[in-house]
A = this chain, B = another copy of it.
């Protein structure tokens, strides 16, 4: 094996290790909360966010069709907190839309601590897979 090839392989291995370690590192607080899921519904995109214990009037959302920012605050627990894992206080998270949506089309719904926001896609997907069903 020639030296440049070995060097390139070593570089690739390093890059791979770095990429793998990204998945292992805890994400910094503030960027990974609330946790998010995206569901593609053909003509719409639905975003699901876990915001347990956050009152609806403490939630704020802004979107420009490309990114969406959710901000809010979860109240601190009153009393003598002796062990804490749950996040409290203000939070903000900016998410990229998986594909362009109609700006301002989001319809929000909060239920059992889950916020669902449904957006109209700018380019609705036509489902061409139906014909392959048996």
Q: Flag the segment in A8-16, A62-70, A80-88, A101-109 that touches B.
A: A80-88
CA distance A97 to B87 in the complex (A): 20
Cross-chain contact of A113 among B36, B37, B52, B84 (Cβ < 8 A)? B52
Question: From residue A52, how far is it (CB to closest CB) to chain B in Å?
Answer: 3
Residues from chain B with Cβ under 8 Å of A36 in the complex: 83, 85-86
* Residues in A lying within 8 Å of B, measured CB to CB: 24-26, 32, 35-41, 46, 48, 50-55, 77-87, 98, 111-114
Question: From residue A117, how far is it (CB to closest CB) to chain B in Å?
Answer: 14
CA distance A35 to B34 in the complex (A): 13
Chain A's interface: helix, strand, loop or mixed, by majority?
A: loop
Residues from chain B with Cβ under 8 Å of A51 in the complex: 52, 113
**Can you sample 17 A-B contacts with CB below 8 Å?**
A24-B25, A24-B26, A32-B85, A35-B85, A36-B86, A37-B77, A37-B81, A37-B83, A38-B82, A39-B78, A41-B80, A50-B53, A50-B113, A53-B112, A53-B114, A55-B112, A112-B113
